[in-house]
Amino acid sequence: MTKTAATPTGELTTMAVVAGETIVLDPRGAMFVPEHDLLAVSDLHLEKGSSLARRGMLVPPYDTAATLARLAAIIAQYRPRIVVSLGDSFHDGGGSARLPDAYRSDLSGLMAGRDWFWVAGNHDPEPPEGVAGHTVREIAVGSLVFRHEPSPKPVPGEVAGHLHPCARIVQRGRSVRRRCFASDGSRVILPAFGAYTGSLNVLDRAYRGLFEWERFFAYMLGNDRTFPIARSLLRPG
């Protein structure tokens, strides 16, 4: 179920109900659960830039700064009591060790005064070095359960990442591709949050068996709001 509501400031907020819990789908790629005062983001891939640089692709070293700045703005707005980073928070095992000091203290600032959970991902199975927070395999809150990789069989209330969902539509002869939340009302997969993360179309075979398509929506990220798009309008590629 999807609804769009206007805030007092006139902004449109897109909400969905997953396993009975109402969730807010922020167009910057984060999910907020008002009931539990919980904010979830997935696939931050911090220090992906320096990971590429190690292999000779000297891409700008500002991705961590960009990702943290976006996260800081969202945290400042929602002021969550709990933050869940749904895995692949660092691009590789050495990522947390490479984190420049300035970013490390930015991150500590964000974590101060709230419960912070690092869900283990395939890129970062070990707890991050020199960073606070609890590292967990998965965590359950209310009727929601947060883990990195979506389970192959439908699990009501599962909130996952890993797949970096995006969707594409063609409207008036033009193609628009955006990152998206993917949900059928039973489970939700979050878009990748990191500044350098690519994405995979929700119609790819990797998503096979995960959703009931007749109730599926791709919540595509716009500049100011999230757009729920039905399965029938989605295109592969």
Give, as ranges, the residues between 13 and 72 that touch another protein (CB under 8 A). Answer: 50, 53-54, 56-63, 65-66
Q: In the bound complex, what is the minimum distance in angstroms from residue 195's beta carbon to another protein?
A: 5
| Strand blocks (E) in the chain | 2-6, 12-18, 21-25, 31-33, 38-41, 82-85, 115-119, 134-136, 138-141, 144-147, 158-160, 165-171, 174-183, 188-189, 200-201, 217-221, 226-230
Q: Are 188 and 15 in contact (CB under 8 A)?
A: no
Residue of 34, 156, 198, 209 that binds another protein (CB under 8 A): 198
Structure tokens at 235: 């295109």
What are the tokens at 122? Answer: 């395939």
> Applying CB under 8 A, which of residues 28, 36, 114, 177 lies at the interface with another protein?
177
Of 147 and 164, the one with the shorter C-beta distance to another protein is 164
Rank residues 25 and 119 by Cβ distance to another protein and give the closer one.
25
- In DSSP terms, 30 is beta-bridged to none
Strand pairing class (12-18; 2-6): antiparallel
User: How many residues bind another protein, per CB under 8 A?
Assistant: 43
**Is 130 one of the binding residues for another protein (CB under 8 A)?**
no
* CB closer to another protein out of 66 and 110: 66
Listed in sequence order, the residues at least 6 apart from 227 whose beta carbon sits closer than 8 Å to its beta carbon are 14, 219, 220
Q: Does 223 bind another protein (CB under 8 A)?
A: yes
Least distance (Å) from another protein to the CB of residue 85? 20
Binding site for another protein (CB under 8 A): 50, 53-54, 56-63, 65-66, 100, 168-178, 195-199, 220, 222-225, 227-230, 233, 235-237
